[in-house]
Structure 1
Amino acid sequence: MKTTTFLLLLLPLSFNLNSCTKDSAEITAPPPVLITPKPTPEVTDYKLIAVPADAGTGKKWEFQTDMSDDFEYTYATSSSKTTFGDGKWTNFYHNAWDGPGLTKWKHENVTIVDGVLKLITTRLSGETKDYDYGGATITGKATRLGAVVSNKQIVYPVYIESRIKIANSVNTSGAWMLSPDDTQEIDFMEAWGGKAARNNVTGGRLFSKTIHLSHHVFIRSPFQDYQPADVTTWYTDTKVGDWSDAYHRYGVYWKSPTELEYYIDGVLVQSTNSLDTSGSKDGIDPKSYTSPTKETASRTGLNKPMDILFTMEDQNWRAGIGCTPTDEEIKDTDGHTMKIDWIRIFKPVNK
Structure 2
Amino acid sequence: MQSLTPQILNRCTFLLFIAFLSFSLAGQDWKKLPVPVPAGPGQSWKLLKELSDDFNYRGKKKRFRRRWQDTYFNRWNGPGLTQWQGDHSSVEGGNLVIRASRREGTEQVNCGIVTAKAALMYPAYTEARIKVSNLELSSNFWFLSRDSRREIDVLEVYGGAEKGDFARRMSTNFHVFIRSEEKGITSDFNASNHVELPDEAYWREEYHTFGVFWKSPAEVYFYIDGKPLPTGSWAQAEMFDKDYTKTFMDKSAFVMDRPMVMILDTEDHHWRSRQGIIAKDEDLAAPSKNKMLVDWVRTYRLVEE
Q: Provide the rounded CA distance (Å) in 2 between the counterparts of 1:325 and 1:122.
A: 9
Choose the corresponding residue for 1:158, options 124, 127, 149.
124
Choose the corresponding residue for 2:178, options 193, 198, 219.
219
Residue in structure 2 matched with residue 271 of structure 1 by the alignment: 232
Choose the corresponding residue for 1:252, options 204, 212, 219.
212
Q: Is the contact made by 1:216 and 1:225 (CA closer than 8 Å) also made in structure 2?
A: yes
Residue in structure 2 matched with residue 180 of structure 1 by the alignment: 146
What is the one-letter code of the residue matched to 1:259? Answer: E
Q: Provide the rounded CA distance (Å) in 2 between the counterparts of 1:83 and 1:235.
A: 37
Deviates more, 1:340-349 or 1:156-165: 340-349
Give, in angstroms, the shift of residue 150 of structure 1: 0.4
What is the one-letter code of the residue matched to 1:267? Answer: K
Q: Is the contact made by 1:274 and 1:283 (CA closer than 8 Å) also made in structure 2?
A: no
Q: Is the contact made by 1:47 and 1:63 (CA closer than 8 Å) also made in structure 2?
A: no
Residue in structure 2 matched with residue 236 of structure 1 by the alignment: 196
Residue in structure 1 matched with residue 90 of structure 2 by the alignment: 111
Residue in structure 2 matched with residue 207 of structure 1 by the alignment: 166
CA RMSD of aligned residues (A): 2.3
Q: Provide the rounded CA distance (Å) in 2 between the counterparts of 1:154 and 1:55.
A: 18
Residue in structure 2 matched with residue 261 of structure 1 by the alignment: 221
Choose the corresponding residue for 2:38, options 50, 54, 71.
54
- For the pair 1:102 / 2:81, whether they are aligned, the reply is yes
Q: Is the contact made by 2:239 and 2:249 (CA closer than 8 Å) also made in structure 1?
A: no
What is the one-letter code of the residue matched to 1:287? Answer: M
Q: TM-score, normalised by structure 1?
A: 0.71
Q: Is the contact made by 2:197 and 2:203 (CA closer than 8 Å) also made in structure 1?
A: no
What is the one-letter code of the residue matched to 1:54? Answer: P
Residue in structure 2 matched with residue 71 of structure 1 by the alignment: 55
User: For structure 2, which runs of at least 5 residues remain unmatched after alignment?
Assistant: 1-26, 241-246
Compare CA radii of gyration and give the structure with the larger one: 1
Taking structure 1 as reference, are residues 183 and 84 closer, same or farther at Cα in structure 2, changes over 3 Å only? Answer: farther
Q: Provide the rounded CA distance (Å) in 2 between the counterparts of 1:84 and 1:95.
A: 23
Residue in structure 2 matched with residue 309 of structure 1 by the alignment: 263
- For the pair 1:286 / 2:256, whether they are aligned, the reply is no
Q: Is the contact made by 2:71 and 2:113 (CA closer than 8 Å) also made in structure 1?
A: yes
Give, in angstroms, the shift of residue 55 of structure 1: 1.9
Q: Is the contact made by 2:191 and 2:234 (CA closer than 8 Å) also made in structure 1?
A: no
Give, in angstroms, the shift of residue 334 of structure 1: 2.6
Question: In proportion to residue count, which structure has more helix?
Answer: 2
Give, in angstroms, the shift of residue 45 of structure 1: 3.2
Q: Is the contact made by 2:55 and 2:95 (CA closer than 8 Å) also made in structure 1?
A: yes
Q: Is the contact made by 1:249 and 1:265 (CA closer than 8 Å) also made in structure 2?
A: yes
Taking structure 1 as reference, are residues 60 and 282 closer, same or farther at Cα in structure 2, changes over 3 Å only? Answer: farther
Residue in structure 2 matched with residue 85 of structure 1 by the alignment: 64
Q: Is the contact made by 1:162 and 1:249 (CA closer than 8 Å) also made in structure 2?
A: yes
What secondary structure does 1:329 align onto? helix
Give, in angstroms, the shift of residue 87 of structure 1: 1.8
Taking structure 1 as reference, are residues 283 and 349 closer, same or farther at Cα in structure 2, changes over 3 Å only? Answer: farther
Deviations 1:300-321 (A, max 9, x none): 5101000000010011111122
Taking structure 1 as reference, are residues 327 and 273 closer, same or farther at Cα in structure 2, changes over 3 Å only? Answer: closer
Residue in structure 1 matched with residue 18 of structure 2 by the alignment: none
Choose the corresponding residue for 1:343, options 267, 279, 297.
297
User: For structure 1, which runs of at least 5 residues remain unmatched after alignment?
Assistant: 1-42, 77-81, 129-140, 276-280, 291-297
Number of aligned residues: 268
Q: Provide the rounded CA distance (Å) in 1 between the counterparts of 2:119 and 2:40.
A: 23
Give, in angstroms, the shift of residue 255 of structure 1: 0.7
Q: Is the contact made by 2:55 and 2:96 (CA closer than 8 Å) also made in structure 1?
A: yes
Task: Give structure 1 regions of 4+ aligned residues with deviation exceeding 6 angstroms.
Answer: 281-285
Q: Provide the rounded CA distance (Å) in 2 between the counterparts of 1:146 and 1:83.
A: 19
Taking structure 1 as reference, are residues 322 and 84 closer, same or farther at Cα in structure 2, changes over 3 Å only? Answer: farther
Q: Is the contact made by 2:175 and 2:188 (CA closer than 8 Å) also made in structure 1?
A: yes
Give, in angstroms, the shift of residue 58 of structure 1: 2.4
Q: Provide the rounded CA distance (Å) in 2 between the counterparts of 1:184 and 1:237.
A: 28
Deviations 1:319-347 (A, max 9, x none): 12222111112121231111101000011
Deviates more, 1:215-224 or 1:338-347: 215-224
Q: Provide the rounded CA distance (Å) in 2 between the counterparts of 1:333 and 1:274.
A: 41
Q: TM-score, normalised by structure 2?
A: 0.82
Taking structure 1 as reference, are residues 236 and 107 closer, same or farther at Cα in structure 2, changes over 3 Å only? Answer: same
